[in-house]
A and B are shown apart, each in its own frame.
Chain A
Amino acid sequence: MRFFAIASLAVFVAICGAVTQASAAEPANSATAAPLDLSSLETRLRETEAIGLMTKLSLRNQVDDLLNQFRAFYAGRLETTLEDLRRPFNLLMLKVLSLLQDKDPSLAAALASSREAIWAILSDRVKFAAMS
């Protein structure tokens, strides 16, 4: 259960890991956190106590919904624009960051610093398909 709860979260942020190189562990409370590699990110999401189990599952649902919107958009089944999809992406990012920022600030900082890298993948049909 716990594994599944973080799996989609990991997919969401794994996009970041795919476009960044592995980095050494960053110091806590760093304002300019280095981006994470995928395996490190998965481990930290799995182990973070900043987010409860049901909250992780709820986030997973919302990540799945967002990824499905992108899939439908690229498949021509959803009439919208990337600009419109940016809004729910930003909102979801804010939700994750707000949950992490107090109890796991270094992970929050790493995610925040990777926001544009994640968006760059989501907003590119070819890169998104490769990640999906």
Chain B
Amino acid sequence: MRKQTMFALLIAIPAMSALAADDAATRKDLTAVIALQGLPCGEVVRVETKGENDHIATCKDNKRYHVFINSAGRVVVEKQ
């Protein structure tokens, strides 16, 4: 049992770290996108992914933005 737990952890830890890295990259990407639109945010601290290139970003100051790519291929940032 103990060996099984160790094995599961060995698999889970790298997977979690990869997810965390992706999440950090997405937060940074969305932070830059929001800043490029000239909107106040500071830093994105949480991301809820609704689909491919479709996210709800929560900023440090609790502002929330819907960031997505519309059918015309433009990045749209809508305040929630």
Contacts and interface: CB of A to CB of B under 8 A. Distances in A.
Interface of A: 1, 4, 51-55, 57-59, 61-62, 95, 99
Nearest to B55: A54
A59 B73 contact: no
Contact of B75 (A4, A51, A58, A95): A58
Interface in B6-27: 25-26
Interface residues of B, number: 15
A61 B28 contact: no
Residue in A51, A53, A99 with the greatest tally of chain B CB atoms within 10 Å: A53
A51 B31 CA distance: 11
B80 interface: no
B37 interface: yes
A51 B74 contact: no
